[in-house]
Amino acid sequence: MMTDPIADMLTRLRNANRIERPVVDMPATKLKCRVAQVLKDEGYIQDYQLGKPVTSKAGAADFQADPNTDLSQAHVVLRVFLKYGPEGERVFFKDRPGKQAGPPALSPGQSAQTSPRRPGHSDSQHQ
C-alpha cells in the first residue's frame, strides 16, 4: 500500500486546527521537517521540534524535545506548534463556505443564454 506522507501531515495539521489543538505530534522524516520549516518561515505555524516519546513515572506519555535527534533512529517525533490569531482565529486552515450548488459562474461578457449548460439540467431548472 502506498501512502503520501505530506498529505498525511497536512491532514493531521488540518484536523488539529479544526479542534483548536495547540500542538500536533507525528512520525518525523527529513521531508516532513523541511515542510515544517517552510510553514514556519512563511508564518503558518509557530514552531516545530524533534524529539522522542517518553513515559513519565506516573505512566503518562510525554514528549522530550531534542534538537540533535537523529532521524534514522526509531520512534522520532515531529511536534508542530500551531498558530492562531490574537482572538483565536485560525491562521493555517481557514474555514471555507460550502461549495455552491448551482450553475457555473458566467465569464465577463457572457450572457445566460450563451453559457454552457451542465449535463442533466434542462432550461426549466434555470428560470
Tell me how far apart the alpha carbons of residues 76 and 12 are, in angstroms, rounded to a whole number: 17
Instruction: Indicate the pLDDT class of residue 69, thresholds 50, 70 and 90.
Output: confident
User: How does the average pLDDT of the chain come out, rounded?
Assistant: 80
Predicted confidence (pLDDT) per residue in 16-51, tens digit: 999 999 999 999 999 999 999 999 999 999 999 999
CATH match of 5-82 with 3.40.50.970: no
Q: Which carries the bigger pLDDT value, residue 2 or residue 65?
A: 65
Task: Determine contact, residues 12/18, Cβ cutoff 8 Å.
Answer: no
Domain ranges of the chain: 5-82
